[in-house]
Structure 1
Amino acid sequence: MKQERLWTKNFVSVAAANFFTFITFYYLLVTLPMYAMEHLHSSPSSIGLITAVFLIAAIITRPFAGKWMEKAGKYVVFLSALAILGAASFFYFLPHSLPALLLLRLLHGIGFGMATTANGAIVADLIPDSRKGEGMGYYGLTQNLAMVAGPFLGLTAMQQGATTMFAANALFALLSLAAGLFVRLPENRAARHVKLPTNKIRLLETSAIPVSLVSAFFGLMYSAIISFVSIYAKEAGFAEAANYFFIVYAGVLLLSRPFTGKWFDLYGANVIVYPAIVCFAVGTYLLSISETALLFLVSAALIGLGWGTVFPSLQTIAIQVAHPQNRGLATATFLSIFDFGFAIGSFLFGLAAAKISYSSLYFYSTFFIIAGIGLYYLLHGHSGAENSNPPVKYRKQTKVQ
């Protein structure tokens, strides 16, 4: 039987829009705190608000974005979100105080929450059901690559001055909008004839909550890595290796993605998720005992293979257990709950890092990651790999043109 196409113009366009959306996120994540301290004379204690306000706005917006897509349509919300991101990026030239910058971050966070929700819902419609795991894996890879490219480009542009830094950020936002304009979402005619119970006040997709809670738990652990790994490397005496941590991370993702996504589709989620969690735990343990740059980078490879496989797998499950008409709400639910876990983790591990060493922090995190195997089993894995596929009563109605 002929395999359904994955690499269509629409899929590539949505993936590109997602890549540039996350480029701007990670770009500003590393540059704005330094900009606020150097140019707005903000105190170190208030710098955390720059990220916190942004994430809170995104978390609150996502459930509403899922409902907006049900009413106005995914494409309308998708383009509106990219337009908000573009406008917000141009406004970064204006603020001359921290309160003004935080107000802009609030607007930017709303656009980011809408965009990531709409992107995920649209790409879920575009990927053939038979290649859902593979397609979502490649889509998730755009975020991982942006995590490497964003900080590198941001720190490089910042050396040229604030004007250059914000101009480059605005360019990336415009590229995201340009990519979105090439998307043409096909009608899912079969799904339109499915009668679903309605609930006007429902802002979360209940079927996606269990696996979303799993993602939030692992997000707690992952936040410790992305937030403190550079500081840890500097204290350990191999600061130069920190520049290559996420490059190795992304390189392993590029090499593994063609296999892990296909195996997800062929053998089910459990066959992929359990080994990936173990790989994530081993990588974090090696990070905790790293005394050389080589071991430090080996840990990056294992964390990239582990977490880089777990996250898109869980997102795919969240989408597949929901009805096709609720994919937007399922995406919003998954990302909102994950972001909440990530934000809480950044705060808690920041407090913990003030009491214990970073190596101890990563050492104890290893045991929490291993405990996540039990959490995944209880909330999803025990039901079997078949639950990673669309519910039986929907399968004949979910063919994407």
Structure 2
Amino acid sequence: MMSLLVVAAIVLAVALGYTTKINIGLFAIAFAYLLGCFGMGLSPGDIINMWPLKIFFVIFSVCLFYSFATVNGTLEKLAGHLLYRCRGVPHLLPYAILLTSGVIAAMGAGYYTVLAFMAPLTLLLCQRTGMSLILGGMAVNYGALAGANFVSSQSGIIFRGLMTGAGMPESEAFVNALAIFASTAIIPVLVISAFVFLGGHGRNLKNAVLTADLPEAFNREQKLTLLLTLLMMVLVLAAPLALLAFPDNATVRFVNSKVDIGLIASVFSVIALLLKLGDERKAIASVPWATLIMICGVGMLISIAIKAGTIDALASWIGGNIPPLMVPVAFGVVAALMSIFASTLGVVTPALFPMVLPLAASMSIDPMIIFVAIVVGAQATSISPFSSGGSLLLGSCTDDKARSTLFSQLLLRAAPIGFVAAMLFNLALTFLF
């Protein structure tokens, strides 16, 4: 009975957040308190301890450091330079948008930040070059998603935190996060290529004239920001990669045990402040507080679900009713349907990731395949006009007629195409591994 109440609470939190536009995490905290204290006999202290402190700290620290690149204009200027390089090859523009969005997101801007300043630019390029709105929209959305999934960027950090929180060793979580990034980087290239070379979009773009002015050179603050960002990426990636290459080396193992991306980002934030790379108040204000509250609030409610046995019950049901070969595909379908209306980071992955390890162990499935299938499925429909990606794209449209056209294209073409591509990928992944 309690498991059903917890599931109902999760669904209700998402529904209320969607209809009232109030942060889903706040509803989740309220339901966690009511169900935990008054339905399960837990103390208020037990409920507060369910706040995922490590995930909160890591996301806050990393986003604080990366926010300097947003505040001082580094990312915006980087986007301008990358797009300027493609002015002579307009038929490669979709790939340029995909790459630019991916690089900037991988450098820590995060999915929402990239869409916020790349979506208007992309739609403007669509008007100037004749590139279809659906192609431009999918390119910027796919690029922002893939880049944010990089192991040292926002989504990649969240995925690693959820996996380690579910009981997976840090080294295995790192490998799985790399697999998620690689998968979500391959799919966009295949889908965009199908549009360009099979859908006739490439022929239209070849005849386009792309005019772009050379952006100003990077100033001192922006150069130092780029240097610090690249240096932090190297430091964060070097230790776990060295451990994978030399698993028995005591020195490598010791160094890796002392590396924490949240603490490293905190040190780099201090360095950025000492070098005066940006205003401290603006940097703190740029931290995605709403996303943090949503992820951590839903995390508390998921902890209630785990405590009530809901996750184990769902995993047992899936294990008893779905053939092992179809489990990753089934997870992908569920994640895709959830993602039409809910956030991948705040709702879908926190709800589904805790089921993976017990289910994978009972059915002898590599958990990496299921983790990849969940993220691939969830992000396939994130371009739906009812989801965050699609709504940001629609909000970037200044023309009512173009907005109406884009709405139908996102709903009836982009989301279904993304869904089919994701399911085919998940099916191929299941058979190959």
Normalising to structure 1: TM-score of the pair? 0.32
| Structure number, greater radius of gyration | 2
Higher relative contact order (CA 8 A, sep 6+): 1
Normalising to structure 2: TM-score of the pair? 0.31
